[in-house]
Structure 1
């Protein structure tokens, strides 16, 4: 059981324990009495052991020993990992059923939603599929004799059953490569489970149209390129359970390097070694299918990459144009003589009408998501301004607009949670954004343009790893924007951005397009992420994590290589300066505020910050 509320009288009750010292996927099982929901304190069973002077655990090692003893007269016993079997060539694992869905499984399901694979029906089935605890500990753990490993084997089974015929063939060939080629390099260290995991990642990120019979060798090449990527990183992540490296305890660093060299050789030589595999006469079968050379695969891959680069650039330009229209519409509904929320509702109704037109449906739905998010954020701001903290419904509504892009509305949600004091919830949202915001995410801004940020080679670089693996998942991050009606959803320092001019003359200097956004706060997603982490970790008293976020913000903002992907340098520098200010380093804060002014000396909130810090220094 995961919770005391799952206790049942007359049953054997075992409470799952997991803390920061327990490896991912591993649990300890505390023995709970069957007559009363209280911990067992006696060692009244040979399988019980003490973790400390109080806690009684159910030992996985003792469990297997008892199983072995029971079957000792029934034939030769084979032990392998969690298996204790008396049947040759069979693995038999006695396991405990987990009562409730676990966070590890729920996190995986949420990560996979919206993808072409796994299908939605499979994810729904996975939600109710039971997981098991099998008797095997982590090889590096101090409690490996007591630990139990979480096994989502029924979900993995469903994933395997969802394979089509060409995916099954690809998996079989991978196992043959493992058994005949990899075995010569690293022995039995690479297992069928490694092959299965590589297949899961490849299918998840490869377009379904590529899985055709004629592409078998090309698809095997993609799988090996996925394996090569993990070997380079030194970590093959478990497909379902986060934080588990499947190389741990299986493949040493030396073996990983040896295998990486061979996989590189295989790929560079167009998989010619496959034609010499004798198991199931694989080489003859491939030749019988008319497959002798796959030198064309590299050319096919390059053509795919060029096409995807052009497609990605067109998508970027479409999103950029979309943001321009969205901001103009947002500016128009912020008429001080009208009720803004009513104007937004009117726009939503118009978009809904357009969504019935097949040609306009996609862009209409995008507008609806963004306008809905804006209205929800404005309502949240109003609740915070009136100190009405009963707005859980508004918080829940954010989920309908979180997927507009990788980061912007998630960061708004984190900002709302921070502003209303839900710091732990804010941290979880920020951690989710940080996981999603990988190095290939492309930033998009509706107004500012960076020279060279739309060259074709930029987009080719974004998808270079994806092309290497036959994958195509372009992701974009919009700048985070707070209009004045959202002020109470934003950290106080961003209020200065909403009033960035010090004189009316500065307002007169604004270009036509500047007027659409300069009365709002707008910041690039990554600097805002690190700034919010600094605030939330500080609020929680987690000083080490706060300083880590501070250091990342400074490193990112000051790195000249990031200038081509940052649209609001001055605002990022203002956030960094404010961190220095909160640290009590006023000279450091002034340095960054003045650097911000070197980008834009007017219509820049840094002018207000400089005056404030100078007053603090003078006092």
Structure 2
């Protein structure tokens, strides 16, 4: 049937529909790009606030929008060191006094697409010839060259225990989490000399327009700490990266070109990778796609010609493997396949590709990734009921969760800095951050403005809470200043900021307003749509609620206010805004426990609890205080139900510790002990349950 007249066009259209069903359409591609570019802005702003002179970029499939749920693409980060002391140049005229000037050497001794970095003097535009340190090497001509291993050490410091892959360090092997690759690089403001010719080229497709080329040339380039495979200067060579220019090219693809690229990656995953690993990379497929687009008329890249376009790209990939040459699109002298594919593997790989090309699309029925093959079969048979056809809801939910988690990680970093500060130091630091964010927000537009807004509301809430803690300690009252800061924006999420406000009101014995705030939180916390988010530690998240995904499909990051419940964090300097039952969490670690804490476990010095159990716990306390027994028991039942049934609690052991203390207040010592033992079963070390068990047993013994 694949030979029938018009069938290629028909299958191409059906294939395009299937790809749209799994989230490869213009809307979801743009949604993916917005999410990752926002995360990029948040990363860079986070670095600026902490006085780290760097820029974070998210590159590759995630930020390009060229992935699917089934492909599960890695997160590719590039951390650019914008240290004002470094100045990487290609022209002596760009030398600057007082800086670490490095001249990019791109001569016949260096592999194409790579360079050496020669250290220059900081007082005159002349080569440096003095005493060396361990990061530099004097070559046979007397040049002082920077070793690329300095960047590997920087990446390893970011990801302790990561696995090195070329220039990247990867966090791998954590169930339920996407692999995360980070590359450290140095920026060069000027366009690479080896890519100058590309700016004058114009293929048949008239694809990379003059406007695109002008933009690309202004992005400059990066130098990444990795040498060419097999080079005798492998420790000294630096790869020239035009990542931002390549991202510009990807952002200018049409949907058929994006679908073609995604199909190539699915074919790699299904037919090549199981036998040959990563010898053929998705970047090689991207490069092949670029060449095909540049050398093909643009009217060929239409939905009804998707199979033809795919065949064209696969044939080009076949020729690249056959000739062992895949020229980089922007720096064509750089052969991406050099040293990657063994001579023994080549004929087998070519046979597989030839089989795929000759199948004229039939082979796509064998692809299990995203159920592609089964979906095509059903689409051609007009049988649609077997699948939950649209994946856009799930993707949208995942994307909002990424934004929420990024926010949580950044806020955690800020809080870690002030963990052991005095009241005065913490307040001064938060004010400095807030003023910086306000300045950034006024000076920028778009996603940078959105990113600064997402950060500043959290810092205002924390500042208000710290001021309130100081007020309660000194005067047992709340100052207008503390209330002003916390009331600036209570919509950080569904519950977190309002929960902090509720307990402040409880502390000053305003039970009525406490009840009003807690009722408001409960009314807005829709159990069918709100998802808890915690990034204190990594744990496997269960599938998001359908209601959550449905809302996310219609909104972007603004949906955080209505669908996300962050865990509530209290620093030591907020201790007077923390219920005494929760304060034990600040002292959870014995001397022995400290040895079992990781480098990112500073949160263990805080009191941290998930929003929903904390809501019901505060209701229990408030109703106990005003002696409303029925409401108190309802709150207790809700707390028990939440601990038992909510799948995505990050601090279930803390909720159990709170429940245990409620049981003690109810006179149910046996149930309290069960709660503490269950808590200890979830987290054996660094758990306040140990104190509660000892305290409870001591009380029982003394009572007898």
Choose between structure 1 and 2 for higher RCO, CA contacts under 8 A separated by at least 6 residues.
2
Which of the five TM-score ranges fits, normalised by the shorter chain? 0.3 to 0.5
TM (normalized to structure 1)?
A: 0.47
TM (normalized to structure 2)?
A: 0.42
